[in-house]
Amino acid sequence: MLSSMAAAGSVTAALQVTEVLEAIVSCCVGPEGRQVLCTKPTGEVLLSRNGGRLLEALHLEHPIARMIVDCVSSHLKKTGDGAKTFIIYLCHLLRGLHSITEKEKDSLMCENIQTYGRHWKNCCQWKFISQALLTFQTQVLDGIMDQYLSRHFLSIFSSAKEKTLCRSSLELLLEAYFCGRVGRNNHKFISQLMCDYFFKCTTCKSGTDVFELVDDCFVELNVGVTGLPVSDSRIIAGLVLQKDFSRYCPADGDIRMVIVTETIQPLFSASGSEFILNSEAQFQTSQFWIMEKTKAIMKHLCSQNVTLLLSSVRQPDLVIYYAGVNGISVVECLSSEEISLIQRIIGLSPFVPLHALSQCEISNTALVKFCKPLILRSRRYVHLGLISTCTFIPHCIVLCGPVQGLIKQHEDALHGAFKMLRQLFKDLDLNYVTQANDQSDTASLFICKNSGESYKVPDARNGSIQKPYPDTVIENKDELEKTQTYLKAYSNLAISDVELETYIPYSIPKLTPADTFQTDETLRCLSLEKNRLIGDYEALLKSSSTAYSTRGNNRIEICYENLQVTNITGKGGLLPVSFKLQNMGTSQSYLSSSVPAGCVLPVGGNFEILLHYYLLNYAKKCHQSEETVVSIIANALLGIPKVLYKSKTGKDSFPHMYIRAVHALQTNEPIVSSQAGLESVTGKCQLLTSVLQCLTKILTIDLVITVKRHPQKVHSQDSEDEL
Amino acid sequence: MSRLDAKKPSLCKSEPLTSERVRTTLSVLKTIVTSCYGPSGRLKQLHNGSGGYVCTTSQSSALLSHLSVTHPILKILTASVQNHVSSFSDCGLFTAILCCNLIENVQRLGLTPTSVIRLNTHLLSLCISYLKSETCGCRIPVDFSSTQILLCLVRSILTSKPACTLTRAETEHISALILRAFLLTIPENAEGHIILGKCLIVPLKGQRVIDSTVLPGILIEMSEVQLMRLLPIKKSAALKVALFCTTLSGDISDTGEGTVVLSYGVSLENAVLDQLLNLGRQLVSDHVDLVLCQKVIHPSLKQFLNMHRVIAIDRIGVTLMEPLTKMTGTQPIGSLGSISPNSYGSVKDVCTAKFGSKHFVHLTPNEATICSLLLCNRNDTAWDELKLTCQTALHVLQLTLKEPWALLGGGCTETHLAAYIRHKTHNNPESILKDDECTQTELQLIAEAFCSALESVVGSLEHDGGEILTDMKYGHLWSVQADSPCLVNWPDLLSQCGCGLYNSREELSWSFLRSTHHPFVPQTCLSHEAVGSVSNLTLDCLTAKLSGLQVAVETANLILDLSYVIEDTN
């Protein structure tokens, strides 16, 4: 017998659930967030501010809650960030939807639906809204991002082409990241640790593959030590294996190592075979043969100057003994992850013992800088100085803390930071639709804009980036002075003068064609107009619409604490434009563009407020039904800065901040952020998409049916089916 | 097979520290740890309700490992104390009490966790930098050329563990033994990097404490019968030793993954025994005098070796393998044939010894840093406590070797530190606040909470109802007995301060520790004459105390920062 129970799957129910979740996660958000203590059924105690982990630990029962948690975890799998923001945003969206249904019940309904029951009416309406949401997410959102928001983006890279990072900007990014992840007295220390680790592990040639490696193997790259204060955490060069030597022989000079994945001692009988013993002497001879063979292999290794043997399996006593006799150190029982990490770093394939004797020289050995025991709080580890053959320079993080739970939190946060960086170094594709038949100014303007840009942007970019360095200096001697005095004005910032001076060469090319300095009272941002582009644009723009003339300075470079803003607006480049030109006659045009790697915005709800502002502007041009949906989305975005500014009072409180920001946007001035720190744009975009998809999912459900089944019965049913 | 149950939802509680239950459990833990603290601390008897082992202790490591706490917040607290103890051995109770006090004091204030945590961190770094600075008035340099200060350090540890039940004479004896054992583990000709040896503690329960002794080398326990069979060795030169880590029992070793088919009449046992006897012949021809085996030696091989005047000792066990390898300089042998000659080691002498009712074989090293401490005490529980104490003392000596400083004990460091912090926050709050968002009022409140937490730690040294005073010059601790008449001349009642550095003949002014008094500048920079003239000081390990202080504040910060507790009920 199946007994079932049904409950209306309504926005109200979902709202109730998310409000509870919001209450929990919002206390861990942002720099003011606090810790949550989770216990596991095993009795382990874990400290966490990680939204995903908290939601998981709650073991929620409510079906809608479970669905939300599923959505969050699939989002986390992709990006590793933003679980708390997800919940807060979803909650505000649901709140917005809930409140409009109270006001305008019938505005979206067709007449014939009124014959159905009230619940079904609602459901139909939700279906309608969910479709509107989906359309918005797939067709409009990316466009807004590309056409309006992108001009505010900053780039984390000090040189966009080579994707190089300077320390100060990475510090800003990481500090903001760890603010929301670890205890407030430790976030500075942990972000410094991560910064050090990043610069120690990477070379100028390193690319995203380093992040991939660290992300994949992070467990093997850190060692937790309990009982010491957090401030004792440090980075050590080389790789630390969480094993002790089975035999340690101190060696000087060249240390060569081999990796084995099987026992070196030949087996008495191979698997699947039968060994027939006819006499005792035969047994003794074969034992003797095994012994001699083992001895010979170890001697051979020794003659090839091998002094270290890493093994993924346990080696017999005999092997260990002969290793000791020949001065070879042995580490046994390494996990497959450890072996694969070593192989990735040094590109060494395992050594096959039985083939070894036939060759006179062993090819798969690798040189090691050092190999010694490392004692951390009375536990012994193996410390290897691997010589890397890839762009990753091996270093390990030793994480200290009074309790395991805290160390785990720091480990998770560091791992998450690498996931975030990995995402940041990738471009994010944006695809959207412009409605040409809308006859709105926007659409036609974009066409003009893009066609103009497709010719102008490439050479403009080349002009600013590829300009040889000496030329720039000669051209801009007077500007150089200006730059320096200008940069001196920054001295109230946390960056030291020495650092400033080293970055001046980078900032010069950006400042070269300076026409006007926009004078804002903080002197934080500097935007420049580009003559060559403007010339073409203004002709086009003035003819089409005067409303957009202010947006002419479409190639802006802003100096934000040594950050460079690259031109992102027209990044659509040549391909989509040519495609577009072909489609000029049709009603809809599909555009694709991307958020380039390394795009960041200042923290503290900047992204949300910007998007909110532009969405509201967009909503004004929409049909009434669409307008409601867009403005709900826009208003819900403000939920996040509201939480972040909860504890602030007076001039720093949320309403003040919001008014200042909107005013700045209207007058086309740069927004001044009260907090230093940066966050990735890519992560935010992906988060927004995930939340909207989750909401769409919730809205399409009209009925939740709880099925209570008897476990045994189901089991027997299953087995019958099988029969 | 039944299906797995669905996971039960977790329990989620907000603001855990405000709940009455948490406060009660925290205060219960606090009473337990404070009542154990110091030389006059009360003992705790821990036993399982259904019988079995009884533990009488006042040490944090024994106490906390036997207590089973259920509340997650207490788990965090006890785990961090235990982790501290396992890495520094000492100052566990200090850490636990300080942490409890801090949580309790700060909770009362009702400030926002942000400012509390920030200020606590500032105050902690103030303490640490003071204790590490040259001007610190509560630490003394440790002179390794004389035993005086080292003995004081060991004696202080022994007297602070009343459950060892030592008399004064016994304390002196054990302190001297511990120091001797420690000195034996230091290599004689060390250059640059020193690798300390090991001191093995050998149990001898039911004997008088005075019978405890230290011997260089290793003692291997043996039954009397076995010992009789060993032949006396008449050899003046060093003895050649072979140490086996593989079994010599004649088991057929691993035959691989396939199957082995034996023809009729073939005996593998005989074949292996042949192999063993061949090994014996090789050992004899290599002039080995002593064969040691971690596992079992086959009786035939044993007999063969005895016949050729070779001593064979088996079943040594894995724990002795490392010290034996180190002491004899051997390569543990894992092969039944073809032993390379450089894997043999040597010992200076082998003799038999009897201590109490136990018989031992005593291996004397040529020159090695391994020694054995034969430790006696009346009964099991007292012995266990004494063993833990000895390990603590040895560890503290090692830590002191690394960082040759000691802190004044007996509570003087804490009162002095509290006076210093009060003075600093009162006279120079700007230097602490710098660019922070915290106000001066908040700083004063938190500093007061911090200092009184430190002072309550030393307040719990007094268990007999006495009063605790502090002087206004050095900021040291002085205690008065409970039944002393009031309104008398203080110098008559007080003889010397907690650590024993100052006496009351000096013109000092005192005030009660718990009463409010003006912040004053405690005298910094200890004079060397003052330290040199006193022979019996109470001292604490600097490294352990520093870490204890850090761990206590960090853990308190962690607990104060909690906004939710999610308990998994599965």
Nearest to B87 among A60, A227, A275 (CB): A227
This prediction has a pTM of: 0.84
B103–chain A Cβ distance below 8 A for any pair: no
Q: Do B248 and B353 sit in the same domain of this protein? A: yes
Separation between Cα atoms, residue B85 and residue B88, nearest integer Å: 5
Instruction: Say yes or no for a CB contact (<8 Å) between B331 and A270.
Output: no
Q: What pLDDT is stored for residue A359 in this prediction?
A: 66
Q: Are residues B390 and B516 in the same domain?
A: no
Count of domains in chain B? 3
Same domain, B166 and B284: no
- B352 and B459 in a single domain? The answer is no
B235, B282: one domain: yes
Domain of B320, CATH number, reads: 3.50.7.10
Q: Does one domain contain both B395 and B306?
A: no
Set of chain B residues whose Cβ sits within 8 Å of the Cβ of A226: 79, 83, 87
Any CB–CB contact under 8 A between B266 and chain A?
A: yes
Asked if the structure places residue B243 within a domain, the reply is yes
Residues with Cβ within 8 Å of A189's Cβ and at least 6 positions away in sequence, in order, are A230, A231, A233
Distance CA A560, CA A675 (A): 13
Cα-trace Rg, chain B: 30
> Which tens digit of pLDDT belongs to each residue from B197-254?
999 999 998 889 999 999 999 999 988 888 887 766 666 678 899 999 998 988 876 7
**Which residue among B386, B403, B420 closes a domain?**
B403
Please indicate whether, in this complex, the C-beta atoms of B83 and A325 are within 8 angstroms of each other: no
Alpha-carbon gap, residue A165 to A155, rounded angstroms: 10
- Establish if B272 belongs to a structural domain: yes
pLDDT of residue A9: 58
**CB atoms A325 and B331 under 8 Å:** yes
B268 touches chain A (CB under 8 A): yes
CATH of the domain at B510: 1.10.560.10
What CA–CA distance (Å, rounded) separates B511 from B422?
15
Name which of A19, A25, A56, A59 to mutate to probe chain B: the one with the most chain B Cβ atoms within 10 A of its Cβ.
Answer: A59
Find which of B121, B335, B553 to mutate to test the A interface (most A CBs within 10 Å of its CB).
B335
**Domain assignment of residue B275, yes or no:** yes
Residues of A in contact with B570 (CB under 8 A): 41, 59
Report yes or no on B387 lying in a domain. yes
| Residue B17 reports pLDDT greater than 50 | yes
**A437–chain B nearest CA distance, Å:** 53
A597-654 tens-digit pLDDT: 888 888 888 888 889 999 988 888 888 777 888 888 899 999 888 888 887 777 778 8
Q: What is the pLDDT of residue B26?
A: 94
The per-residue pLDDT for range B49-100, each reduced to its tens digit, is 787 788 899 999 999 998 888 899 999 999 999 999 999 999 999 999 999 9
Would you call B271 an interface residue with chain A, using a CB distance cutoff of 8 Å?
yes
Residue contacts between A and B (CB atoms, under 8 Å): 232
Give A264-278 pLDDT, tens digit per residue. 888 877 777 888 888
Contact B83 A43 (CB under 8 A): no
Domain final residue pick, B348, B367, B386? B367
Residues of B in contact with A43 (CB under 8 A): 75
Q: Which domain holds residue B175?
A: 143-216+374-403
Where residue A100 falls (left for φ over 0; alpha for ψ -120 to 50; beta otherwise) is alpha
Which pLDDT does position A81 carry in this prediction?
81
The two tokens of residue A383 are 């410390």
Q: What average pLDDT is seen over chain B?
A: 88
Pick B563's closest partner by Cβ from A36, A185, A402. A36
Interface with chain A: mutation pick from B84, B118, B546, B554, highest number of A CBs within 10 Å: B554
> For residue A317, what is the nearest residue in chain B, using CA coordinates?
B334
Distance from the A172 Cα atom to the nearest Cα atom in chain B, whole angstroms = 18
Provide DSSP, B292-309: EESSPBPHHHHHHHHHTT
> Residue A534's pLDDT is what?
35
Q: Are residues B417 and B509 in the same domain?
A: yes
3-state DSSP: chain B helix, strand, coil percent, rounded to 5?
45, 20, 35
Q: Is any Cβ of chain A less than 8 angstroms from the Cβ of B31?
A: no
Local confidence band at B516 (pLDDT 50, 70, 90 cut-offs): low
**Cβ–Cβ below 8 Å for A227 and B259:** no
pLDDT in tens, B137-191: 888 999 888 888 999 999 999 999 999 999 999 999 999 999 999 999 998 876 7
Q: Could B338 and A295 be called an inter-chain contact, meaning their C-beta atoms sit closer than 8 Å?
A: yes
Interface probe, candidates A321, A644, A716, A719, chain B, greatest B C-beta count within 10 A:
A321
Provide the pairing of β-strand B44-47 with B54-57. Answer: antiparallel
Any domain includes B305: yes
Question: Where is the domain boundary, B382, B403, B424?
Answer: B403
Flag if A57 and B16 touch (Cβ within 8 Å): no
Residue A413 and residue A230 in contact, taking contact as beta carbons nearer than 8 Å: no
The distance of B561 to chain A (nearest Cα, Å) reads 6
Q: Is the pLDDT of residue B531 over 90?
A: no
Probe site for chain B from A245, A280, A493 (most B CB atoms < 10 A)? A280
Distance, CA of B421 to CA of B482 (rounded, Å): 29
Which site among A283, A328, A398 would you substitute to test the B interface, given the most B Cβ atoms closer than 10 Å to its Cβ?
A283
Residues B249 and B342 in one domain: yes
Please report the pLDDT score of residue A6 as a whole number.
55
Beta carbons of B260 and A229 less than 8 Å apart: no
B260 within a domain of the structure (yes/no): no
| Identity of the residue numbered A686 | Q
Q: B437 and B529: one domain?
A: yes
Q: What does the pLDDT read at residue B3?
A: 56
Query: Are B437 and B533 part of one and the same domain?
Result: yes
Question: Going by C-beta distance under 8 Å and a sequence separation of 6 or more, which residues neighbour residue A618?
Answer: A140, A144, A630
Q: Which residue, A638, A628, A591, is CA-closest to A138?
A: A591
Same domain, B416 and B428: yes
Query: In sequence order, which ranges of A217-335 are alpha helices (DSSP H)?
Result: 280-303, 317-325
A376 to chain B, minimum CA–CA distance in Å? Answer: 10
Nearest Cα neighbor of B229 from B401, B321, B352, B84 is B352
User: Which chain B residues are within 8 Å of A272, Cβ to Cβ?
Assistant: 257-258
Contact B8 A41 (CB under 8 A): no
For B257, name the nearest residue in chain A, comparing CA atoms only.
A271
Residue with tokens 């009416």: A121
Our CA angle for A211, A197, A501, nearest 5°, is: 105
**In chain A, what residues touch B568 (CB-CB under 8 Å)?**
38-41, 57, 59
Q: Per residue in B437-460, pLDDT tens? A: 788 888 999 999 999 999 999 988
pLDDT of residue B77: 95
Q: Tell me whether residue B247 is in a domain.
A: yes
Cβ contact B558–A35 (<8 Å) = yes
Question: Residue B558: inside a domain, yes or no?
Answer: yes
Task: Calculate how close chain B gets to A110, using CA atoms only, in Å.
Answer: 42
What pLDDT does residue A468 have?
A: 36
In which residue ranges of chain A is pLDDT below 70? Answer: 1-9, 102-124, 160-162, 205-206, 355-360, 435-588, 673-674, 709-723
Q: Which pairing describes strands A45-48 and A35-39: parallel, antiparallel, or unpaired? A: antiparallel
Asked if residue B384 and residue B329 are part of one domain, the reply reads no
CATH code of the domain in which B387 resides: 3.30.260
Question: Residue B39: exposed, middle, or buried by beta-carbon count in 10 A (0-12, 13-18, 19+)?
Answer: middle
CB contact under 8 A, A270 and B335: no
Does any CB of chain A come closer than 8 Å to the CB of residue B122? no
Q: Across the interface, do A27 and B267 touch by the CB < 8 Å criterion?
A: no
Residue A229 structure tokens: 């204060």
CA torsion, ordered B559, B561, B564, B570, to nearest 10 deg: -40
The residue among B273 and A156 whose pLDDT is bigger is: B273
